[in-house]
Amino acid sequence: MEWIVVTGNTVTEARDRALDALSVAAEDADIEILAEPARSRWGLRHHPARVRVRVRPTGPPPRVGDQRRDRRRSRRRSGGGQRKGQRGKGAGQGQNRGGRTGRRRSRSSGRAGAPKPSGSNS
The CA–CA distances, whole Å, from 32 to 55, 83, 95 equal 12, 46, 58
What does the chain come to in residues? 122
Higher local confidence (pLDDT), 74 or 47: 47
Residue ranges of domains in the chain? 4-55
Phi-psi region of 20 (alpha: psi -120 to 50; beta: other; left: phi over 0): alpha
- Condensed to tens digits (0 to 9), the pLDDT of residues 15-41 reads 999 999 999 999 999 999 999 999 888
For 4-55, CATH number out of 1.10.3470, 2.60.120, 3.30.30, 1.10.10 equals 3.30.30
Predicted model pTM:
0.48
